[in-house]
Structure 1
Amino acid sequence: MSKETAGSKDTEGQGSASALIEAKIKALDDWRGETLARVRALIKQADPEVVEELKWRGVPVWSHAGIICTGETYKNAVKMTFAKGASLEDPSGLFNASLDGNTRRAIDIHEGDRIDETALKALIRAAVALNLS
């Protein structure tokens, strides 16, 4: 059994997922690209061992012993969907979308929203801990 190393996975032979995520951020060329880049940086700060992947037609996915979260971009929001969000404590109230789901929870970030970096990194660390438990 091989152990996956930190970093990025090759996606369908098209280059590293990290490079493809970088290209996606640059292609957005607006507040959504800046926001996705900031979220990505915070995820890497919170978990230096995170693995970047692209799934579901180019959606950035961050994993560590399972999916932590995705980073979807829409016209009016950047959505961070936490795969096991319903099982995470959210004392800062970051989750503001997909609140009725049995498993997932999401954070919709809109243009001009301020990201509570400390709370987001704590949530990411909690997601990793849950995956490792």
Structure 2
Amino acid sequence: MLGRIRALIKAADPDIVEEWKWRGVPTWYHGGIVCTGETYKSVVKTTFAKGASLDDPKGLFNASLEGNTRRAIDFRDGDAIDEDAFKALIRAAVALNTRA
């Protein structure tokens, strides 16, 4: 699942930079942190650093909804991914980070 998510992130923003932080958590940057991809036994949690500030018209965010800043999507093995909506969230997060 993490491989699928990584490919979608790179497709949404070819200029995004991936680094591994915090004991092996992939973290994607473009003008600041865009999101992380934490792996757990049953989910890959993709946490958007400024997710609360992003429009989510397709309702992808399904975790960490109570926070003031972050929002996350828990992907389970075999889940269908709305690729267009996910890539739109990535692009919106980059636009938020790079807004002058």
TM-score by length of structure 1 reads: 0.73
Is residue 43 from structure 1 mapped to residue 33 from structure 2 by the alignment? no
Match of residue 78, structure 2, among 104, 112, 119: 112
Unaligned 5+ runs, structure 1: 1-34
Q: Which has the higher strand share?
A: 2
Match of residue 66, structure 2, among 100, 123, 130: 100
Distance in 2 between residues matched to 1:67 and 1:105, nearest whole Å: 13
Between the two proteins, what is the percent identity of the paired residues? 75
Is residue 90 from structure 1 mapped to residue 56 from structure 2 by the alignment? yes
Distance in 1 between residues matched to 2:68 and 2:29, nearest whole Å: 20
Moved over 6 A (4+): none
Counterpart mapping for 1:1-133 below 5 A:
35-133=1-99
SS in 2 for 1:122: helix
Alpha-carbon displacement from aligned partner over 1:20-74 (angstroms, at most 9, x marks no partner) = xxxxxxxxxxxxxxx1001000000000000011111110000000000000100
Letter in 2 for 1:85: G
Q: Which has the higher helix share?
A: 1
Letter in 1 for 2:74: D
Distance in 1 between residues matched to 2:98 and 2:77, nearest whole Å: 33
Alpha-carbon displacement from aligned partner over 1:69-127 (angstroms, at most 9, x marks no partner) = 00010001011000000000000000000000010000000122101000000000000
Distance in 1 between residues matched to 2:55 and 2:4, nearest whole Å: 23
Larger radius of gyration: 1
TM-score by length of structure 2 reads: 0.97
Distance in 2 between residues matched to 1:50 and 1:112, nearest whole Å: 26
Letter in 2 for 1:118: D
RMSD: 0.5
Unaligned 5+ runs, structure 2: none
